[in-house]
Copies of this chain bind each other. A is one copy, B any other.
Amino acid sequence: MIRVGVIGAAGRMGTEACKAISAAPDMELVAEIRRGDPLERLVEAGVEVAVELTRPDSVMGNLEFCVRHGISTVVGTSGFDAERIATVREWVDSGATPGVGVLIAPNFCVGAVLMMRFAAQAARFFESVEIVEMHHPNKVDAPSGTAVNTARLLAEARAKAGRGPLPDATETGHEARGLAVEGIPVHAIRLRGLVASQEVMFGNAGELFTIRHDTLDRAAFMPGVLLGIRRVRERPGLTVGLEHFLDLD
């Protein structure tokens, strides 16, 4: 049984995570930290792995506490730029608490991680590729961060394979919601009833290849969170991205 503590237990993701951890046969939820609760409770409860699900303005303090107390941590909070990542790396590599592992995952959804990885692998085999991301109409940004990241991976894989620009005879009419990210068209659909979906479409003469991912519910993130909890201590040091825990090679 892994003794787990959740920081941000009252938030939407935190609530879902507490439920999933409680239901997991190999875990025990021993601490739920809400805003204002002292982090020392994690230590008192003998937490082996913490899950950090708060906000960008509190995550660094929480993470530093965990690392300094030798608690391996799975972080789902967003807002990690290169500087923050460098800071966290310094903490875990300082040698003060050897063996502690930290996983920072911008996306805990296994399906989204697989989509990006498979798309990057497929990119060099196809002449054409475009991305369609589909979300509910209350989403403020367009295109989505996941779509922009996927486009960058595709552009990089095409460049490495020596593929030039996408074939495209059109000259007019580039005013729809979306963006070409490093030459990869990203179309953004906003429709009441949608939650969060993405499709990557590849094409060669006589052939189409499509990878699609639909997230319908916060429950979609839980298998990734549980996987992180199970494996973060096996991998001391800092890991960025759930894909490194999936043993895909």
Contacts and interface: CB of A to CB of B under 8 A. Distances in A.
Contacts of A139: 169-170
A82 to B, nearest CB: 23
A interface, size bucket: 35 or more
A1 interface: no
Contact of A175 (B140, B166, B180, B216): B180
Nearest to A176: B178
A249 to B, nearest CB: 5
A221 B207 CA distance: 9
A190 B167 contact: yes
Interface string A76-110: 00000000000000000000000000000000011
Given A111-B208, A202-B111, A128 B173 contact: no
The winner among A122, A170, A188 for most chain B CB atoms within 10 A is A170
B132 A192 contact: no
Given A121-B248, A169-B140, A213 B209 contact: yes
B130 A191 contact: yes
Count of this chain's copies in the oligomeric assembly: 4
Contacts of A11: none
Interface string A205-249: 111111111111111111100000000000000000000001011
A179 B187 CA distance: 11
B189 A187 contact: yes
A166 to B, nearest CB: 7
A208 B214 contact: yes
A192 B171 CA distance: 17
Contacts of A192: 126-128, 167, 203-205
Nearest to A130: B189
Nearest to A186: B176
Given A111-B208, A125-B246, A170-B177, 4 more contacts: A132-B187, A176-B185, A207-B216, A209-B212
Interface of A: 109-111, 114-115, 118, 121-122, 125-130, 132, 137-143, 166-180, 185-195, 201-223, 246, 248-249
8 contacts: A111-B202, A111-B208, A178-B178, A193-B205, A193-B220, A194-B208, A204-B219, A205-B217
